[in-house]
Every structure is written in C-alpha cells, then in structure tokens.
Amino acid sequence: MKVRVFFHDRCFDGACSAALFSRFYRERIRSDVHFVFSGLLHRAGALFNQNDFDGDENVIVDFKYSSSPKITWWFDHHESAFLTPADSAHFEQDQSNQKFYDPSFKSCTRFLAMIAEERFGFKPAPVAEMIRWADIVDGALYADAGTAVEMKEPAMKLTMVIESSQDPSFGPRLIPLLATQTLAEVLEASFVAPLLPPLLARHERSIEILRERTESKDGTLFFDVTDQELEGYNKFVPYYLHPESVYSVGLSKSSFRVKVSVGSNPWAPTEPVVNLAKICERYGGGGHARVGAISFDVTQREAARRAAQEIVQELRASIRQGK
C-alpha cells in the first residue's frame, strides 16, 4: 500500500504535518503502508503535476487544495487555500470526510492533531512537543523576538535547517524522524547535525545584512536582498532589529523564484489590522491575515519589485491613516 504525502516544503509546519499524518495513518487507518513524501513549493504557474499523484492514496497537508479525484486526504489552515472559486466549491461538495479545512488554526499540525484525535481516535500525546512547536513557529507565538531569533531552542534550529535546505530529498528523510523522535534527537541525525554550524554563521551574517538593508518608515519596513544568498532567512530578524515596526515587506531570490514576503510584527506597538493574505492574493499569492507571500518567476524581478513597492506604500498609508 503506497501512500504519497505532499507537504509544504521548506516549512517546519509542513514537515511536522506530514510526520503527524504518517503516524496517525499508520496507527488508525492501516499499518501495512509505505509512505512517500513529496515537497511542494509556492511558485509562479502550476503548483501540481497530476502525474505525481501516483499513490494508492494521495495526501496533501499544509498546502493549497487540488480538486483532482486522485487526492484522497487534505488538511490545510491557510486563508488562501483555494486557487479558484471552483476549487472551493469542489471542497464544499466533498463527501469523503477525509478533507478538512479551518483557517482559524495557527498551524496545520495542530489542526490535523485535533481532527485525528476527535474523529479517528488518534492519541497525539507522544508527539506533543512537535505539535506545540509547530503552533509556536507557524503562528509566531513566541514570547518575544529574541526567542525567535537567538536560536536557543531545538525547534528554532530545526526550522532554520528546514527553511534553508535546497535539497529536495531533505524533507522526505527528515519527516520519518519527526514522527518518532524528540526535536533534540532529530537535530543529532547524521544528515542534519553537520548542516547546523554553517547555517548559524549564515544567520549571524543575515542579521547584519538586514540591519544595513532595512528601511523603516511609517511603521513599515522594506528590504531587498535579491542580490544575496538569503533564501530561508529568519523572518523575525526585521522585527528584532526594529521593534517599532508593525509591517514588513521583503524581496528575496532563489533559483526558481523572486519572493515578496509580507508580514506583521507579532510584538507590534499597535495591533496590525490589514489583512495581508488579501493583499497578496491580488498579485497571485496568499497566506494568512498576518503573514503572506507572492512568488514571481526568476525573470520577473522588476514585477516583483513593483509589487513590493506598491504594498509598502499601501501599508505605510494605512499606518498614517490610523487603519
């Protein structure tokens, strides 16, 4: 029995969701199963390749909805979960009782744990640490900016490794460990531990780069690091450096996209009120009310920069107008 699990790649919550699903499925659905984990990334153009849906069961966690009849399970919590109104309607009409959505949850992992426990009798206690940290990381529920930036907790180190990895095989190797080990034990794995020292050094350099590059005006930060190798930088560094900020807009670049990241300061001096998912949706992106992103093709750097500047102006205007 082959179960292919598609998950939000380079994302702590995505990896934890996949790990939790595999543990739940093995314990409560069937045990004679072979899991294959496949990472998905937000990018310009088509998000899914239908030919990849080759499992006896095909599962999507922490990622947008697919109306393909080959998808048998789906869990998500993003406000921008549906690519089209037709996808939303398809979900509403689904009778499988195996597709679940609730944007009120901070993490897909916590949402999946609740559904698995209440509807299928799964016991999540053995992986409670992973579930708790997925909620903290994806919901930005840190006590302060220092907790998010200073890399003291195993979960923060793992998040940094996951978000920085360019190896498509890394997530699939990591996920089975997350399903059975503590986060500190996962960090000690032979393919994880060597990655940490250079990433910690890179993290320190990124703090200095963002210190130099970030412009703070009208409660909104802007920075452009598309000329740097900073894909997967810690998104809380700008707020750590500028506690006076409410919003941030950042431009970064990887091998396959130029990304506009739009966020709000979890420790802002005034409550963020602009729905950032709605702003990002206008440019083909999405996310949550408090954090979102837009992916442009690598050839569309100028379009990405224009979008970022328009969003910066809109957010600064909202601050000036007290909205």
CATH code at position 211: 3.10.310.30
Whether residue 193 is contained in a domain is answered as: no
Name the pLDDT band for 137 (thresholds 50, 70, 90): very high
Strand positions, DSSP E, 139-270: 215-217, 220-224, 247-253, 258-264
Domain count for the chain, please give it: 2
Pairing between β-strand 291-296 and β-strand 286-287 as defined by DSSP bridges: antiparallel
The answer to the question of residue 234 being in a domain is yes
- Are residues 127 and 261 both part of a single domain? no
140 DSSP assignment? T
pLDDT > 90? residue 40:
yes
Model confidence band, residue 109 (pLDDT cutoffs 50, 70, 90): very high
Per-residue pLDDT band at 303 (split at 50, 70, 90) = very high
Residue 262: pLDDT band with limits 50, 70, 90: very high
My answer on whether 11 and 111 are in the same domain is yes
User: Is the pLDDT score of 232 beyond 80?
Assistant: no
Please tell me whether residues 177 and 210 are part of one structural domain: no
Q: Above 90 in pLDDT, residue 322? A: no
Asked whether residue 112 is domain-assigned, the answer is yes
Reported as a pLDDT band with limits 50, 70 and 90, residue 323 is: low
3-state DSSP assignment of residue 181: coil
Are 10 and 151 within one domain?
Answer: yes
> Which pLDDT score, from 0 to 100, does residue 171 have?
98
Confidence of residue 283 (pLDDT cuts 50, 70, 90): very high
For residue 236, what pLDDT is reported? 94
Do residues 283 and 260 make contact, with C-beta atoms less than 8 angstroms apart?
yes
Cα separation, 105 vs 322, in Å, equals 28
pLDDT by residue (tens digit) across 140-197? 899 999 999 999 999 999 999 999 898 999 999 999 999 999 999 999 999 999 999 9
Identify whether residues 183 and 74 lie together within a single domain. yes
Decide: pTM greater than 0.75: yes
Of 160, 187, 214, which one is at a domain's C-terminal end? Answer: 187
The two structure tokens encoding residue 95 = 């009778």
Domain encompassing residue 90: 2-187
> Kind of pairing, strands 247-253 and 258-264?
antiparallel
The contacts of residue 232 (CB under 8 Å, 6+ apart) are 10, 160, 163, 164, 165
Q: Are residues 49 and 92 in the same domain?
A: yes
**Cα-Cα-Cα-Cα dihedral sign, residues 132, 138, 144, 145:** positive
The number of beta carbons lying within 10 Å of the beta carbon of residue 34 is 10
Q: Is the pLDDT of residue 268 over 80?
A: yes
Report yes or no: 27 and 120 within 8 Å, Cβ to Cβ.
no
Q: Among residues of the chain, what percentage have pLDDT more than 70?
A: 99
Instruction: Decide if 192 is inside a domain.
Output: no
What distance in Å separates the CA atoms of residue 265 and residue 137, rounded to the nearest whole number?
14
What CATH number does residue 156 fall under?
3.90.1640
Q: Is residue 119 part of a domain?
A: yes
Q: Which of 124, 158, 187 finishes a domain?
A: 187
Tokens 């398809």 — which residue?
90
Instruction: Tell whether 167 and 217 lie within a shared domain.
Output: no
Higher-scoring residue by pLDDT: 46, 121: 121
pLDDT bin (cut points 50, 70, 90) of residue 277 is: very high
- What pLDDT, on the 0 to 100 scale, is given for residue 295? 95
Contact 78/288 with Cβ under 8 angstroms?
A: yes
Torsion angle (degrees, nearest 10) of CA 171, 174, 37, 35: 180
Of 165, 187, 209, the residue at which a domain comes to its end is: 187
Q: Is the pLDDT of residue 265 over 90?
A: yes
